[in-house]
Structure 1
Amino acid sequence: MPSDSAPTDTEILEHAVAELVRRTRFPVAFGGLARGDSIHVSSIVGARTRSLDGLVVEASRGLGGRALVEKRPRLALDYRSARSITHDYDRAVLGEGISTLFAIPVLVAGRTRGVIYCGSWAEAPVGDVVARPAFAVADELSSELRIRDEVQRRLTRTPPPAEAVTMAPAAREELRQTYAELRSIAAVIDDPALRDRLARLERRLAALSQDASEPPVGLDVHLSPREIDVLACAALGLTNGEIAATLDLREGTVKSYLQSAMAKLDASTRHAAVATARRAGLLP
């Protein structure tokens, strides 16, 4: 995948499924995104057969179909004899030799966007050791999809770069708010891959707001991620206290980052620093 392209929903799902196998003790994992009233399995890791390929799980059918509709995890400790589910997909699941199957819905804004599964070929208990990391993977996938949805929603309301010179003030302000929100989200994420994806989206947002009538200023300046975070919030008119609350920093730390950024940008005020950073393409 090119470094300047945003990940697709399918690529985000693939990463989550791989993480299920890595973080839990289950050897096989698979998952799919919702299309209408069904889950289309598109990512499989650890399978020994091709039985799960192309699996489509309908709402309320099977373990995943129940997770889709009920919006809560479902477990079949012994899948073959489970009485709480329909057995529409026995050929796929039992064909892979799966005995214990755990299905977790991926919820975004109260809607099931997908279901991820982890399973084992022998009957295996699902306690906190397995459930906690599986839930964490589902939560991370939900967050990525939510962020991507929001960015795409806002980008569709923003002119392309060639028309940026005529961007309405309200649209430009909303773009800047989106950028600041993405920076605050990225600041509390530990996953390097996810932070890198967010950084690519941030660069796209910054490029969208550039004024075509004013060529960018070339500056030999490197701002730290935190200095950019603080400047992005300052650009919205937030006080030091409000910035501290947004980024979970001490107010004194915010002041220190602002002073450092101002010195690097040769600016005497925060407003001048923001203006210079925008002309340099460091902020939208």
Structure 2
Amino acid sequence: MGAPSALRDDTSLISHAVVELARRTHFPVAFGGLEHDGAVHVTTIVGARTRSIEGLVVHESRGLGGRALIERRPRMTLDYRTSRTITHDYDRAILGEGIATLFAVPVLVGGAARGVLYCGSWAQTPIGDAQARPAFDVAGELGTELRVRAEVERRLSAAPTVEGGLGAGAREEIRESYAQLRSVAATVGDADVRRRLEDIEARLAALTGDAPAAAVDSDLHLSRREIDVLACAAVGSTNGEIAASLGLRETTVKSYLASAMSKLDASTRHAAVTRARRAGLLP
């Protein structure tokens, strides 16, 4: 029997994050996992020369990662073997790989630590901002994806249904989630993370069933920002609220709204939202 879909999703997200961690920090070894039952279960390893880290489970407060998990802040040691600031429960795994310098960054979701990402080297390697900043960015992007997915799943599971489909309350929940998701995605700099968030947006939008893909007008194109602004307007946000949510100036929001209304041949924002939904551009 296969793993639950949620677990497969978690593994996929961690796998991408660890690969990105190695690529951006240029550390030879990277690994990480999410927290389950008070322990971090390492599921992805990149660059290791041995198999000693495979299956590693790091408990709260134990080792470098356990401290990062419980303290919810990055932890580092330049010489793991001689460090007196951590427990050495996992020496067999870490020293077995020959790691000297180890950097552990917690993955935070809503202030809670959901996992830990590690990068390390076989020699003692000073960690400056050039290495630390990319690690923080990767952990932050992973936290964003986990938060967005959890919120979408929460709203969908709580949404009531009627015979044959979604009820009015469920549709509004989906539309509000969609607007919030676009607001979050607008702040993400990494193109691959943004693409995956867009995939979630598309699946979420399709749940309303208002406009099948075949109904989309191929000649009608709204920019990403125009859709962002319309998605927020669709749930009743004012121009000021939209500006705060998307990190824009209010005058810029008005400009995007005006452009979207013109493209949709709509005289009001309400009409623009309605036509965008009919075109399959909004849920």
By the TM > 0.5 criterion, same fold?
yes
Q: 1:135 deviation in Å?
A: 1.8
Who is 2:116 aligned against? 115
Who is 1:145 aligned against? 146
> In the aligned structure 2, how far is the partner of 1:282 from the partner of 1:197?
18
User: Aligned partner of 1:219: which letter?
Assistant: D
What is the percentage of aligned positions where both structures have the same residue? 66
> In the aligned structure 1, how far is the partner of 2:251 from the partner of 2:105?
42
User: Aligned partner of 1:243: which letter?
Assistant: I
Q: 1:264 deviation in Å?
A: 2.3
**Superposition map of 1:97-136 within 5 A:** 97-136=98-137
Does the aligned pair in 1 maintain the 2:213–2:280 contact within 8 Å? Answer: no
> In the aligned structure 2, how far is the partner of 1:182 from the partner of 1:276?
21
**Superposition map of 1:1-284 within 5 A:** 8-158=9-159, 163-164=164-165, 166-167=166-167, 169-211=168-210, 217-220=215-218, 221-284=220-283
SS at match of 1:151: helix
SS at match of 1:8: helix
> In the aligned structure 2, how far is the partner of 1:18 from the partner of 1:62?
23
User: Aligned partner of 1:70: which letter?
Assistant: E
Cα 1:231–1:161, aligned 2, differ >3 Å: closer, same or farther? farther
Question: Which stretch shows the higher mean deviation, 246-255 or 153-162?
Answer: 153-162
Q: Gaps spanning 5+ residues in structure 2: where?
A: none
Cα 1:251–1:75, aligned 2, differ >3 Å: closer, same or farther? closer
RMSD of Structure 2 on Structure 1 (CA): 2.5
> In the aligned structure 1, how far is the partner of 2:267 from the partner of 2:70?
57
> In the aligned structure 1, how far is the partner of 2:275 from the partner of 2:224?
17
Cα 1:148–1:161, aligned 2, differ >3 Å: closer, same or farther? farther
Q: Gaps spanning 5+ residues in structure 1: where?
A: none
User: Aligned partner of 1:266: which letter?
Assistant: D
Does the aligned pair in 1 maintain the 2:80–2:99 contact within 8 Å? Answer: yes
> In the aligned structure 2, how far is the partner of 1:267 from the partner of 1:162?
33
Does the aligned pair in 2 maintain the 1:68–1:105 contact within 8 Å? Answer: yes
User: Aligned partner of 2:247: which letter?
Assistant: D
Q: What TM-score, normalized to structure 1?
A: 0.88
User: Aligned partner of 2:131: which letter?
Assistant: V
Does the aligned pair in 1 maintain the 2:159–2:173 contact within 8 Å? Answer: no
Cα 1:59–1:246, aligned 2, differ >3 Å: closer, same or farther? closer
Deviations 1:22-44 (A, max 9, x none): 22242111101111021111111
Q: 1:132 deviation in Å?
A: 2.2
